[in-house]
Amino acid sequence: MSENKLHFETLQLHVGQEEADPATGARAVPIYQTTSYVFNNSAHAAARFGLTD
């Protein structure tokens, strides 16, 4: 392991992840880049995604 001192921001991101998750083996908290939208109807959705609303 490196002897470099980690910056405060890096330590904040990795706190609580000293050991891998026993179920998944993950060493970091996953980031899910998802979202959902609510539309009045399909025309409303088309207008939003078409950038006309």
User: According to the model, what pLDDT value does residue 51 have?
Assistant: 92
**Model pLDDT for residues 1-53, shown as the tens digit of each residue:** 567 788 999 888 777 777 888 888 887 777 788 889 999 999 999 999 999 98
**DSSP alpha helices (H): ranges in the chain?**
8-14, 42-49
User: According to the model, what pLDDT value does residue 42 have?
Assistant: 96
> CA 30, CA 18: separation in Å to the nearest integer?
15
Q: Are 45 and 39 in contact (CB under 8 A)?
A: yes
User: According to the model, what pLDDT value does residue 1 have?
Assistant: 56
> Could you tell me which of 43, 19, 13 has the C-alpha nearest to residue 31?
13
User: According to the model, what pLDDT value does residue 4 have?
Assistant: 78
User: According to the model, what pLDDT value does residue 2 have?
Assistant: 62
User: According to the model, what pLDDT value does residue 31 have?
Assistant: 78
